[in-house]
Structure 1
Amino acid sequence: MLEVLNYEIFGMDRAVKASGLPMAVDSSKITYSDKRANVLGAARAGSGHDCFLKGIIVEARVKYPLYWTKQFQRYHFADIVSSQSTMHRVTKFNLKNQCNEWVDPIIIQVIERKVYHYNIMEQEKVDYLYISDFEWMKECDTQTYPAAVEKVTKKDLFMQIISCLPSGFEMEMEIVTNYLQLKTILEQRKYHKLPDWRVFCDWIESLPNFKEFTTKEAK
């Protein structure tokens, strides 16, 4: 299940003051105004009146399942600062701990076996093994697994591990976004069927002044 582990907010005061620029002649006289921010922030999405929300930057650490990122990455200003890496560390993770509750245990076992033998290749500094060397294959029906005596290279085994990772595999990433993008996300995902989006939207609504700046109901 998705979890927002921690976050920081930057630029709120500057952004709220900047919301007064369109109607200002002397910018030195612009003051911080919650009232102005509340009115402009609640404007219809796409109208441009709420654009000051772009200046309220949010950086957060998110624990996420892989299936969530396919939808998160569609947003224009919701970028990934850095993340844990399957390419570098997939064979070092504890797979049971990294997978959410909906991943079938059999899938985890299959990948664990592949990781186990990949790490043997790493330790022994060999580039291939024969599948018949895998002790777990003794329990398999060779008609079901006709490749039971074929050679497996370390490269192929790594690609099998990466390709077989379930969408419920969870990692952490640092993201950067802003209140304007989060306003759009909330409108589109608040009632999404994925519980992860509902958790994320609950977090959005908990951010300082978010409801006040973006919804008429909060006025």
Structure 2
Amino acid sequence: MIKTLGVYNLEEALASAGLPMCLHIDALKASEGRGKKLGHAPVGSGHDKFLRGIMVSFRIQAPRYFYQQLDTYHFVESVSSQSTMHCVDEFNLNTMLAPATDQIIATRFKQLVQMYKDGRIPLSVVKASLPEGLMLYRDCVTNYQQLKTIYKQRRNHRLTEWQEFCDWIETLPMFKELVLDEIG
């Protein structure tokens, strides 16, 4: 589940796309055509760098294994996230474990949480045993240039979470127009 919290600076970034060729700053204005031309530049060419100015804030709920891959993207920053340290003993594990989580693992983890609540084991045992399918929320910030890279690399990924993430990227304002014609 992904919720867009905000898309910021779209018009300003479209205006910034004109700075390299601008002789008169007072005449600088947003240009969707210039944005499309530069936004369709190949990933890594640098010509699409104005996309960095279009900032995105979002809240996502995903399994822990998804976050390990998301964290490889240098310009997707975590603002805050659910804490397993502070909340694991209060989580509703019946709803927070991904449906694909093996039931033996789910049952054992629930038992460990109960043992921690009863004071029979330390929190470190629970933390070391967290299932990869534990669904956690995280608030993140990024930009269109990074989302372009993610989209190109993950659109056809075998994990459905990446396919759903790319579906969400497609819903962002003007993302399709500025980026996808070239890489979609």
Matching residue of 2:145: 180
Q: Distance in 2 between matches of 1:6 and 1:42?
A: 23
Q: Distance in 2 between matches of 1:185 and 1:6?
A: 16
Secondary structure of the corresponding residue to residue 63 of structure 1: strand
Q: Distance in 2 between matches of 1:44 and 1:18?
A: 19
Matching residue of 2:14: 16
Output the amino acid matched with 2:159. Answer: L
Secondary structure of the corresponding residue to residue 118 of structure 2: helix
Q: How does 1:135-146 map to 2 (within 5 A)?
A: none
Larger mean CA deviation between 46-55 and 105-114 belongs to: 105-114
1:94 to 87, 92, 95: 92
Shift of 1:7: 2.5
Q: Distance in 1 between matches of 2:162 and 2:126?
A: 27
Secondary structure of the corresponding residue to residue 89 of structure 2: coil
Output the amino acid matched with 2:158. Answer: K
Q: How does 1:66-81 map to 2 (within 5 A)?
A: 66-81=64-79
Moved beyond 4 Å, runs of 4+? none
Q: CA RMSD in A?
A: 1.4
Deviation sequence 1:145-165 (CA, Å, 0-9, x none): xxxxxxxxx43xx22211111
Matching residue of 1:166: 131
Q: Distance in 2 between matches of 1:114 and 1:45?
A: 46
Q: Which runs of 5+ in 1 are unaligned?
A: 122-128, 130-153
Matching residue of 1:113: 111
Residue identity (%): 40
Shift of 1:6: 3.4
Q: Distance in 2 between matches of 1:163 and 1:97?
A: 21
Q: How does 1:57-68 map to 2 (within 5 A)?
A: 57-68=55-66
Deviation sequence 1:90-120 (CA, Å, 0-9, x none): 1111112110111112212112122112212
Secondary structure of the corresponding residue to residue 47 of structure 1: coil
Question: Is the counterpart of residue 31 in structure 1 residue 36 in structure 2?
Answer: no
Question: Quick check: which has more Rg, 1 or 2?
Answer: 1
Shift of 1:175: 0.4
Secondary structure of the corresponding residue to residue 215 of structure 1: helix
Q: Is residue 64–residue 134 contact of structure 2 (8 Å, CA) maintained in 1? A: yes
Secondary structure of the corresponding residue to residue 158 of structure 2: coil
Q: Is residue 97–residue 135 contact of structure 2 (8 Å, CA) maintained in 1? A: yes
Output the amino acid matched with 2:74. Answer: H
Matching residue of 1:142: none
